[in-house]
Structure 1
C-alpha cells in the first residue's frame, strides 16, 4: 500500500509539473496574441493613413485631368516661352503670337509682303530670314545648304547628317538670287529629353539670330519617319509659337537615304 501511495504521489507531482508547464505555454500564447493584436491595430492605422493619402492624390489627379484646369496649365506653360515675332510686326505687337489668335481673317505680313488686300503683288524684300525645325537626323542642315546653294561645298557634312546633331541654334548667311538669306538651324526641340529651361534658352537664341523676326518656319520631316511622331511635333510647335505660326510654316519632306532617293526618282 505504501508503494502504491508513493507511486500515486509521484504521479500527482508529475501532473502538477505538466500543468505548470502548460500554464506557462498558455501565458506565452496569450502574450503572442496580445502582441499580434497590437501589430494589427498599428497596421489598421497605417492603412487608414494610406487611404487618406490615396484620396488626396486622386483629387489632385482629377484636378489635373479636368479640361479647364489643364487648359490653364497649358496657358501658364506657354506664357513661359515668348515666341519670336514674325517679320513685319511692330514693337507694340511683341506679345506672344497665340495671344492674337482672334485675328483669324488677317494673314500676317511675310517679310515685306504688302498687307493691303488691294495689292495682290508682293514686294520682294532685301533680306529673307528662315528658321529650320525638325528632329535630329531629319536633314535640316542639308535643307539649309540646299537653300543657300551650298550643297557641293558641304557634301561631306551632309553625308553625315544622321550621325551629328546641332547642339544650339546657329545661323548661316548667304546670297540667293541677289537677296541676302539668313538660315537659322535649330537643335532637336522635339526631343522628349529636352528640358523646358533648355528649350526656353534656345528659343531666345533663335529669336536673337533671326531678329527682328523670322519670315517663315521650315519644318523638316523625313519620309521614313514613323507615323504618329509628326502629330507630337505639330503639337509642340503650336504650344511653343501659338496657332498663328501655321500661317508662316512650310513642311519639307526630306529623303536622307540614297536608296529612298532612287526609289522616289523611279
Structure 2
C-alpha cells in the first residue's frame, strides 16, 4: 500500500504550476505537504485525485496507475477537500448512506463506525439536518466522517484544520493516528507544521511548484520559513 509519485509536472491549461515532483508515501505513514499560498499544494492534490491530467510523470498506488487505471486507482482513495462539498437536498443520514453505497461498504459495520465518528464530532443528534443548517466547521466534520468510514488505502486531506474548533482538531488528529496504525497512508496539506508535529512521519516543503526540502521535521526545519513552523490558528 504505497503511493509513488514520479516526475510529476502539470498545471492549468498552458500554465505549468508543479515541476518534477517526486515522493513516496509508504503504508502506515502520514505525510504533510506544506508551503505558502500558491506553492502548488492544491495543484498536486488535484493531480492525485484525477481532476488534472499530468503533463509528465506518473502516479501509482498499489500498482494501479492513475492514468492507465483511473477506476482502480480511485477506488483506493478517500478525499477530504478544503472546501466541503455537500448536496443541499440530502440530509446528514442520506450523505452517509450515499458514501456507503458508492464505496460498496458493509452496511452494518459502516453505520457502526459512522455512529462512532458522529459522536466524536458531536453530530450524532443531527442525522436529519440538511447542509443549510451546518456551519463551515460542521460541514468539514461531515466530510471527515464520510471519508473516514471508508476502508481506503490512501486518505488525501486538504487543509483539514481550517475552520475546525480546538476539540475537533484533536479528535481529527486521533483519527489520523488510528488510520495510520491500521496500515493506511495519509497525505495532508497544511500551511503550518506545528499541528502535525507529533503525527507526521515526513514533510514535503514546496516553493513555486517544486520540492525544496523533504524529511522529518527536525531535518528540514531550518529550510522552512518561520511562519510555517508556528502554531496553527483555528476558527469557531
TM-score, L = length of structure 2: 0.29
Question: Would you tell me which structure has more helix in proportion to its own residues?
Answer: 1
Between the two structures, name the one with larger relative contact order (CA 8 Å, sep ≥ 6). Answer: 2
Give the number of the structure whose alpha-carbon radius of gyration is greater.
Answer: 1
